[in-house]
Structure 1
Amino acid sequence: MSKSLLFIVLLFISFNLRAQTWELGGFLGGAGYMGDLNQNNPLKVSGFAGGAFVKRNFDGYFSAKLGYTYGVISGADSTSKSQQARNRNLSFTTPLSELSLTGEFNFMEYIPSVSKSLYTPYIFAGIAYTGYTPKAKYQGQTYDLRELQTEGNTYPNSTIAIPFGLGIKYNIAGCLSLAADLGYRTALTDRLDDVSGLYPDRSKLPSAISVALSDRSAGQTAVAGTQRGDLRPRDTYLFVGFSLSYTFISQKCYY
């Protein structure tokens, strides 16, 4: 779903706040990733993230949330502690565009300005649709790695992902809530970083730029058919940060 279409959906919902159990908010924070260029650090943040959401609160414990988040992840072998990774010398930057639907559970009954609880920890899980475009810089220019077929094949520009995470929210004033959360997304693809399997036969790549960005080792010494990625079937990305939201509450709804 495009950003403009998502904006129309959120705008439509905002004009139909009839149930007084709706919540609108925004998110700002960082994005990170685990995959072929970061195998060991699940908390590494490599870019920014921001978004907006609308939530339907069914009661003080359960809610459903529709959200849009834009983030950027990146990685570079040149910063790795592994000599093997530094020799491989790959790098990428990937903008992510995520539309998600998640269910949320509060451990304490939480209704801003109504319930006795001023804060609550919570957990969430759901499903997401994510667009991604791996890119890399080479000789001062930025290239779309998918188009270059760096492993000798093409792959989709979107994927399904499974979000899950935890957080804590606090009623800062009236119907305003401030929340902090950490959420991981298991993507049903191994190509968020454009790295997945084996080095291809260079003679079958579409261009000289494809060859250059497929094998960035010194002297381009990689042999076709040898390991390029870590051979794990999926990449993971994360969003971490803060959200500020307003809950529409009435006596009719909660008393």
Structure 2
Amino acid sequence: MRRLAVTFILLLFCSQIRAQSWELGAFGGGIGYMGDLNPDNVFKLSDPAYGFLVKRNIDPRWAVKLSVMHGKMKGADSLSSNPHQQQRNLSFVTPLTEISFQGEFNFFDYLPSAGKRRFSPYLFAGAALSMFNPKTQVNGELVELNPLRTEYKDYRKYTISIPYGAGIKYNISGMWTLGAELGYRTSFSDYMDDVSGRYPAREDVYYGRDGFKPVNLTDRSEELGRGKLFSSGQQRGDSKVRDRYFFTGITLTYTFMNCNCPPVF
């Protein structure tokens, strides 16, 4: 009888504390950009986005997650209501791939098909590697901006970012969990949109690595037919504020139970 009681207690303890182990899942939603070409609208979506995740549940409140996300960011001065931005006439589009490691905190104890609650709000934060390659339209074709050194500066096409956000998860059936989340990223780069500092001197602009066809995409105000509106040294972007972006959407995950209980006898 005593052994039976001990067995019951251990099994109960195991199911509540150590049973939840791994989650595999997918993300679907949208990506948004905030930077020099969209400084104000923090909820503006650019394009659809998708991703995959692996999560290790430490206990019913805490988890760590590895995720890979992909989307396309874009922005254009022509879409702004700001007269200065409209005159600047810059635009960009970039694919973005993010690999992140995050910690996650559930406000309620959450165990699919075993806990008292079927849902829980949660917070998350971590670190990420963000890879990008800004381009712009020229005569109907996409041109890479990084090799052209539009501000007479070299920059890497990757950066460290800090993801943070919140969401809510719900146990829809068995081991399946449906979630919805909004997560912002603050990057350590101000060149995800190829806009950061000041207009360089015209003679300093790098005209392309092939050395044949001159391409100057530093100042595109002339394309509006009002002549050249900016000169060397004038502000082109805001270098004090780094570029940011966000993912929002739903997640669908499946939990794999792995009860590692000590032997009873």
Same fold (TM over 0.5): yes
Q: Distance in 2 between matches of 1:231 and 1:247?
A: 44
For residue 102 of structure 1, report the CA deviation from its aligned partner: 0.1
**Equivalence for 2:183:** 183
Q: Deviations over 1:134-167 (max 9, x none)?
A: 1101111111111111111110011000000000
Shift of 1:249: 1.7
* 2:234 matches 1:232: no
Give the conservation status (yes or no) of the 8 Å contact 1:22–1:247: yes
Write out aligned runs for 1:91-106 (5 A).
Answer: 91-106=91-106
- Among 227, 250, 256, the alignment partner of 1:248 is 256
Q: In the alignment, is the contact (CA less than 8 A) between 2:20 and 2:59 conserved in 1?
A: no
Instruction: Classify the secondary structure of the residue corresponding to 1:85.
Output: helix
Find the aligned partners of 1:20 and 1:236 in 2 and give their Cα distance: 34
Matched-pair contact (CA < 8 Å) for 2:102–2:125: yes
What's 2:27 paired with?
27
1:1-255 aligned within 5 A: 21-207=21-207, 210-211=215-216, 213-218=217-222, 219-250=227-258, 252=260
Pick the structure with greater CA Rg.
2
CA deviation profile, 1:191-221 (whole Å, cap 9, x unmatched): 110000001112122226541x111103333
Supply the distance in 2 between the matched residues of 1:175 and 1:199 (Cα, whole angstroms): 56
Please give the TM-score of this superposition, normalised by the length of structure 2: 0.85
Q: C-alpha distance in 1, partners of 2:115/2:158?
A: 41
Alpha-carbon RMSD across the aligned residues, in angstroms, is 1.4
Q: 1:189, 1:233 within 8 Å by CA — same for their partners in 2?
A: no
1:80-99 C-alpha deviation (Å, 9 max, x unpaired)? 01111100010000111110
After TM superposition, the score normalised by the length of structure 1 is 0.88
Take 2:189 and 2:117, find their aligned partners in 1: how far apart are those partners?
40
In 2, are the aligned partners of 1:131 and 1:158 still within 8 Å (CA)? Answer: yes
Q: Which deviates the most, 58-67 or 19-28?
A: 19-28
The worse-fitting range, judged by mean Cα deviation, of 97-106 and 223-232 is 223-232
Distance in 2 of aligned mates of 1:226 and 1:187? 25
> What secondary structure sits across from 1:248 in the alignment?
strand
Residue 111 of structure 2 aligns to a residue in which SS?
coil
Alpha-carbon distance between aligned partners in 2 of 1:68 and 1:178, rounded to the nearest angstrom: 18
Give the equivalent residue in structure 1 for 2:15. Answer: none
Write out per-residue CA displacement over residues 86-139 of structure 1, whole angstroms, 9 at most, x where no aligned residue: 000100001111100000000000011110111110000000011111110111
User: 1:20 deviation in Å?
Assistant: 5.7
Distance 2:182 2:155 in 1: 29
**Structure 2: segments with no counterpart, 5+ residues:** 1-18, 208-212
Is the contact made by 1:149 and 1:210 (CA closer than 8 Å) also made in structure 2? no
Q: Structure 1 CA distance, aligned partners of 2:119 and 2:125? A: 20
| Runs of 4+ deviating beyond 3 Å | 250-253
Q: Which amino acid aligns with 1:37?
A: L
Label 1:119 to 1:92 Cα distance change in 2 as closer, same or farther (>3 A).
Answer: same
Alignment check: 8 A CA contact 2:20 2:57 kept: no
The one-letter code matched in structure 2 to 1:84 is H
CA separation in 1, counterparts of 2:259 and 2:95?
Answer: 43
Of all paired residues, the percent bearing the same amino acid is 49
